[in-house]
């Protein structure tokens, strides 16, 4: 090649600046429109740039800035997550380049065109997603392309394995490491905080790492945090598990299936939650956490994630197939998902329900107790010394004798008792029955939204306390539930939502939908 | 309902601030993490908020800010596009609310699940997209869900009509308003600037509104701007068209099919360009521009958008079906898309080629002249007084006689001659043939990328000047093309790209792929 005019051989450089902007799981770079080194608008339409410094490189979406107080024409700004990812200090010189679209987007395009993808395709896609090479629009394209109708069970297995391999994997050095997991969608369904102490009291290893809520009003980690510290480093986690056979910790500190976290941040707001993606997400996470035996809870009901028995059965088969391929022992239990479990929705309220069950309090919600016993019973039967069918009785004995409560208290003090005393939100509002009759429907989605709008899980004392459950008799004007909030703005959001739809239907006994399962 | 604690009845309010950040077709709101009125993180996971002020409201993606110099805890910042869209002045009090996901996302979810959508569904989706209720991830989901395999021809018609109705429609008050349009993908293919003056010289009405390049190195508007002003207000546009029977203006000032602009900003970087979306995009835009008769150019070639003849035929049928439903008279011409058209790629270079053809210069590229004559011939045959088959001869006569050049000069002076004198970029590099032989391939995509990286269309003098075309004999070391750039950083980007792949293949005569069409 011959160059007639002199080419500048040194790399153009800008000064790196960290911008205090949290762009939520997407790298964003900020370049001044008048930047003299690079033509900001030339990059923008192609949507992504590669930022290089000190041998490190990240991809980012480009925003063009017109305000010198945000970035100057000689700066390159990065959002907080992008800055952390690049890992170079402020003021360092950086260069930018046109980003190639991630090579694996070709596979996504083939999927859009209806092709079946190979194990290698999924590996490349997930590895690019883990390296944040995908923009949110590209992740959205992948999620839709692999949605419900378009992934066969082998592909779900490939996706699960690729996600598993994208992160760390815990190894507990035991042959029987148990866990339970619910596919979600049912508010108040805090059975893990009961199953874990029961199973550990029996001596089985159940190192439970849970997520925080993303779009729901409380995750197990949010609720456990009302009682104990949940952000444990990996060494402390191991020490606790070795001593107590269990923990109830937040899983975010260990990098388990990081691709899953990135995809969920796009998937949840979109409201697309395909069965294949759900199976891959759950199984990759559980296997990464070191589980060998797993009970999966699939609630079925008119406002649950799974609405019909046929769909639940298909999901069960898919779980079983992929688990077998991955080499994890799995049992699926289909449960009653017609209404929230327990009385409380929101961290403080749910922690109260859990502790009342452990304390064998007469005020304890019977449905939460029953469900936890059934699940714990099935987990206990993974123990080769427990005879099939005896798990439930063993679990009940552990709970009734107070051994589950003792184990819970031991776990709490090992993780560190919560030093903040979280109280119920002081802004309250009671929603009254509009008619005489019986409760014939409680909308899981609407109750979750009301609790969420009231401030849960961010404000631990916010949420909804249910006074009436399915089948309960009510009189007109009698309170159905109480909303708790800590902040006036959240309180108003929740009230406005209630005014549109209280989430309860009052009718006649025979209008109550039948449970698909006796549970 | 009974409220035990006093609810604050006044709306919480923040001060509106305009942030100088251009987020490229997406509304972004910036809320301080320590905002005392709203809990920033509570909103973030749900991804979108509704911003209300003075009876106006917009939806925006939320970014959380930790830096008081960007927004303070009592401010709400908006990106430039969001600020313009809300249309309220800085310092005004605004409130925010949880945004409902756009109702029409239910239809998108049904599409993902494999359902066929109705006319009403498409109407709602497009109207929500036009109102910027969709985030980019939601648009991506819609584009993928309606991609290639998943939209039947009725659905393409529904989508086209919904897009058409989303914006303004021009009315020229004549029964024969002609236009031509290429589906794109072929660099240097600047036939519109030849067809328009030829057809207008014949007296037909051809009010051409064109786009600027989004991901290509030049659009017709970018190239015409080298010669004349293209940003005309609607009154001036009408005056010029009435007097000269034509214009060559940028279409962005008229709000024609605005949903299309929003979707294209997501679609292009994703690299998904399904046939159904292409047809809907083109026909809605043309109908909105007031065309009654349209010639569509579908280039076919190994590196063109359409790679096989069968695909071109399917696309033709789809164009014909939807055009009939919409009531626009349409002719499809399948053309040779094996290589760039003309010599120049980039605004200044393409304007040079166009003017050489109009001036009947011996240096004019023969392929550009031939193609423009054929297209103009077909457009001329829309005239009821032109006998079928005679169009080409009439077009040639208009071009050879200089009447096309006269018409072009009249259009240029009516729109306003360009006051900036754009020059070819002074940083140049010649790419040499690696071997003796003949040119057997010129990669449209790679040549477009090299020109784009060199700075086109932002820098009008940037681009690529081809010396050799398909079938030309070359000796090793002989120049194949020259890169022109204005900025060192762009020049280096283009050179780096060339080093990886020069975009040319040299081989033997019999390796040249056959043209599917004689053109």
DSSP, residue by residue, A117-154: PPHHHHHHHHHHHHTT-S-HHHHHHHHHHTSGGG--HH
Q: Is residue A5 pLDDT above 60, yes or no?
A: no
What is the longest distance spanned by two Cα atoms in chain B?
90
Q: Is residue A9 pLDDT above 60, yes or no?
A: no
CA distances from B411 to B85, B231, B346, B348, B378 (A): 34, 14, 21, 18, 22
Contact A7 B427 (CB under 8 A): yes
What was the pLDDT predicted at A44?
Answer: 67
- SS3 state at B280: helix
CA distances from B7 to A422, A478, B39, B416 (A): 22, 21, 17, 62
Q: How many angstroms separate the CA of residue B138 from the nearest CA in chain A? A: 6
- Choose among B3, B137, B269: nearest Cβ to A47: B269
d(CA B424, CA B405): 23
pLDDT band, residue A251 (cuts 50/70/90): confident
Inter-axis angle of helices A403-415 and A234-244, nearest 10:
160
Catalytic residue check, A443: no
Q: Is residue A417 pLDDT above 80, yes or no?
A: yes
pLDDT band, residue A353 (cuts 50/70/90): very high
Contact A269 B135 (CB under 8 A): yes
Peptide bond just before B457 cis, omega within 30 deg: yes
Read off the pLDDT of each residue in A300-306 and give the average, rounded to a whole number.
Answer: 94
Contact B141 A272 (CB under 8 A): yes
d(CA A187, CA A218): 8
- Please report, in angstroms and rounded to a whole number, the separation of the first and last CA atoms in chain B: 76
Runs of H (alpha helix) within B384-518: 391-400, 403-415, 444-453, 488-500
Residues of A with Cβ-Cβ distance to B65 under 8 angstroms: 20-22
- Please report, in angstroms and rounded to a whole number, the separation of the first and last CA atoms in chain A: 76
Pair B298, B316: CB distance under 8 Å:
yes
d(CA B132, CA A63): 18
d(CA A445, CA B401): 73
- In this structure, the strands spanning A427-432 and B2-3 are antiparallel
d(CA A234, CA A209): 11
DSSP string across A492-511: HHHHHHHHH--SEEEE-GGG
Residues whose CB falls within 8 Å of the CB of residue A294, separated by 6 or more in sequence, listed in order: A178, A179, A180, A181, A286, A323, A328, A329, A330, A331
DSSP string across B362-379: TTS-HHHHHHHHHHHHHH
Q: How many angstroms separate the CA of residue A347 from the nearest CA in chain B? A: 14
Q: How many angstroms separate the CA of residue A429 from the nearest CA in chain B? A: 5
Runs of H (alpha helix) within B256-390: 258-270, 275-288, 309-326, 347-358, 366-380
Read off the pLDDT of each residue in A221-246 and give the average, rounded to a whole number.
Answer: 95
- SS3 state at A269: helix
pLDDT band, residue A37 (cuts 50/70/90): confident
Nearest chain B alpha carbon to A139? B137
Contact A46 B144 (CB under 8 A): no
What was the pLDDT predicted at B463?
Answer: 97
Q: Which of A222, A273, A353, A383 is catalytic?
A: A273
Pair B338, B302: CB distance under 8 Å:
yes
Q: What is the pLDDT of residues A86-125, one digit of tens each?
A: 999 999 999 998 887 888 999 999 998 888 999 999 999 9
Contact A19 B70 (CB under 8 A): yes
Here the tokens at position B414 are: 């009516």
Pair A407, A475: CB distance under 8 Å:
no
Which positions of B are catalytic? 273
What was the pLDDT predicted at B4?
Answer: 41
Number of CB atoms found within 10 A of residue B6's CB: 9
d(CA B213, CA B225): 12
- Choose among A3, A140, A495: nearest Cβ to B429: A3
Contact B45 A458 (CB under 8 A): no
What was the pLDDT predicted at A515?
Answer: 79
* Average confidence (pLDDT) per 10 residues, chain B, 519 residues: 40 88 88 86 74 89 92 94 92 89 90 91 95 89 83 94 92 95 95 98 96 88 96 92 96 82 86 88 94 97 93 94 96 96 98 98 97 97 94 98 98 96 96 97 96 94 97 97 95 94 96 74
Residues of B with Cβ-Cβ distance to A19 under 8 angstroms: 67, 70
What was the pLDDT predicted at B5?
Answer: 39
Residues of B with Cβ-Cβ distance to A140 under 8 angstroms: 136-138, 140-141, 144
* Residue pairs spanning A and B at CB distance below 8 A: 248
Q: How many angstroms separate the CA of residue A47 from the nearest CA in chain B? A: 6
Here the tokens at position B276 are: 């159904």
B25: left (phi over 0), alpha (psi -120 to 50) or beta: left
Domains and CATH numbers, chain A: 14-98 (2.40.40.20), 105-165 (1.20.970.10), 178-251+273-415 (3.40.1030.10), 427-511 (3.90.1170.30)
d(CA A447, CA A335): 19
Mean pLDDT over each residue of chain A, to the nearest integer: 92
Q: Which of A345, A299, A494, A111 is nearest to B148 (CA)?
A: A111
Runs of H (alpha helix) within B1-39: none
What is the distance, to the nearest Å, from the Cα of residue A339 to the centroid of all Cα atoms in its chain? 20
Read off the pLDDT of each residue in A50-75 and give the average, rounded to a whole number.
Answer: 91
Residue A491 burial (10 A CB sphere; 0-12, 13-18, 19+): buried
Residues of A with Cβ-Cβ distance to B269 under 8 angstroms: 45-48, 101, 135, 137
d(CA A139, CA A265): 10
Contact B489 A37 (CB under 8 A): yes
Pair A172, A182: CB distance under 8 Å:
no
Peptide bond just before A457 cis, omega within 30 deg: yes
Q: How many angstroms separate the CA of residue A142 from the nearest CA in chain B? A: 9
Contact B21 A140 (CB under 8 A): no
The overall pTM is greater than 0.80? yes
- Choose among B22, B42, B70: nearest Cβ to A63: B22
ipTM of model: 0.84
Here the tokens at position B361 are: 């210069």
Contact B136 A139 (CB under 8 A): no
Residues whose CB falls within 8 Å of the CB of residue B178, separated by 6 or more in sequence, listed in order: B199, B204, B205, B206, B291, B292, B293, B294, B295, B379, B382
């Amino acid at each position: 090649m011959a160059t007639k005019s002199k080419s500048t051989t040194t790399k153009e450089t800008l000064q790196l600046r960290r911008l205090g902007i949290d762009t939520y799981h997407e790298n964003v770079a900020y370049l001044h429109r008048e930047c003299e080194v690079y033509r900001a608008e030339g990059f923008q339409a192609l949507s992504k740039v590669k930022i290089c410094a000190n041998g490190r490189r990240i991809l980012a979406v480009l925003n063009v800035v017109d305000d010198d107080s945000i970035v100057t024409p000689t700066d390159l700004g990065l959002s907080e997550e992008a800055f952390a990812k690049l890992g170079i200090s402020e003021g360092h010189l950086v260069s930018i380049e046109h980003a190639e679209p991630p090579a694996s987007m070709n596979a996504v395009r083939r999927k859009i065109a209806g092709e079946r993808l190979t194990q290698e395709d999924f590996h490349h896609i997930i590895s690019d997603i883990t390296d944040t090479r995908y923009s949110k629009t590209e992740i959205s394209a992948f999620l839709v392309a692999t949605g419900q109708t378009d992934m066969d069970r082998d592909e779900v297995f490939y996706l699960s394995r690729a996600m598993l391999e994208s992160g760390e994997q815990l190894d507990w050095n035991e042959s029987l490491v148990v866990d339970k997991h619910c596919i979600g969608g049912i508010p108040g369904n805090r059975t893990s905080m009961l199953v874990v102490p029961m199973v550990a009291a029996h001596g089985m290893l159940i190192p439970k790492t849970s997520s925080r809520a993303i779009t729901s009003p409380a995750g197990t980690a949010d609720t456990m945090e009302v009682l104990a510290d949940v952000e444990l480093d990996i060494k402390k986690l191991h020490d606790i598990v070795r001593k107590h056979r269990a923990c109830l910790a937040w899983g975010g500190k260990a990098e388990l299936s990081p691709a899953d976290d990135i995809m969920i941040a796009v998937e949840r707001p979109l409201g697309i939650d395909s069965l294949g993606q759900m199976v891959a997400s759950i199984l990759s996470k559980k296997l990464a956490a070191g589980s060998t035996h797993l009970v999966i809870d699939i609630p079925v009901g008119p406002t649950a994630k799974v609405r019909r028995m046929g769909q639940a059965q298909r999901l069960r088969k898919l779980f079983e197939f992929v688990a077998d391929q991955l080499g994890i022992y799995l049992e699926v239990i289909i449960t009653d998902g017609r209404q929230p479990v327990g009385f409380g929705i929101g961290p403080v309220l749910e922690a109260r329900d859990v502790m009342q069950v452990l304390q064998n309090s007469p005020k304890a919600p019977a449905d939460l107790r029953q469900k936890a016993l059934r699940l714990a019973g099935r987990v206990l039967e993974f123990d080769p010394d427990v005879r099939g069918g005896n798990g439930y009785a063993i679990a009940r004995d552990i709970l009734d004798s107070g051994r589950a409560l003792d184990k819970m208290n031991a776990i709490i003090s090992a993780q560190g008792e919560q030093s903040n005393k979280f109280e119920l939100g002081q802004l309250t509002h009671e929603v009254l029955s509009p008619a005489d009759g019986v409760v014939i429907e409680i909308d899981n989605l609407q109750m979750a939204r009301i609790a969420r709008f009231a401030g849960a899980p961010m404000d631990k004392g916010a949420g909804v306390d249910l006074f009436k459950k399915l089948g309960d008799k009510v009189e007109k004007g009698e309170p159905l539930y109480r909303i708790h909030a800590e902040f006036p703005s959240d309180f108003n959001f929740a009230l406005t939502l209630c005014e549109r739809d209280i989430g309860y239907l009052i009718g006649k006994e025979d209008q109550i939908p039948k449970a698909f399962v006796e549970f």
